[in-house]
A and B are shown apart, each in its own frame.
Chain A
């Protein structure tokens, strides 16, 4: 994995001198490949989490929301870093801003559930 990253970094430097757009494609490709290599492990970790939560009879909604938030955070970070790599800091911050809003939208039901349970406990 590290070897892959180093090779790509060297090739990107070679390419950046006269073909900057190719270097950007190269960095995107490396990001995708490294993630594709890890997807299996992430999947197995998530399965273990899901199985544990079902055994501890936690409701699946919360776990699903947490998974969604993690997914959104990862994708947003992936895109933002690539934009920043290409020199587009403004676009990167817009992407991160959108990701924050989406995460907020996802978090609202959980906050409501917590508040409801609190109100019930402390009348």
Chain B
């Protein structure tokens, strides 16, 4: 239970960091770096979420004997 809450805070943290970085880089004039950091942040969070989703589907498959 504890480790899951960390995941939520990690995702929120990455999101806020990426948003702040995007805004700073945009105001500093380096538009393309901003987009790179955004895509990087989204990719990192995507990997975490897909890993969790995979484990969820495995659990459901095992509990409900789906396959």
CA of A92 to CA of B41, assembled, Å: 26
Min CB distance A60 to B, Å, is 10
Set of chain B residues within 8 Å of A42, measured between Cβ atoms: 63
The residues of A with any CB-CB pair to B shorter than 8 Å are 4, 7-8, 11, 14-15, 18-19, 21-23, 25-26, 28-30, 32-33, 35-37, 39, 42-43, 46, 64, 67-68, 70-72, 74-75
Also in contact, A33 and B4, with CB within 8 A (given A25-B49, A43-B63): yes
Counting residue pairs across A and B whose Cβ atoms lie within 8 Å, the total is: 100
Main SS at interface, chain B? helix
How many chain B residues touch A (CB < 8 A): the figure is 34
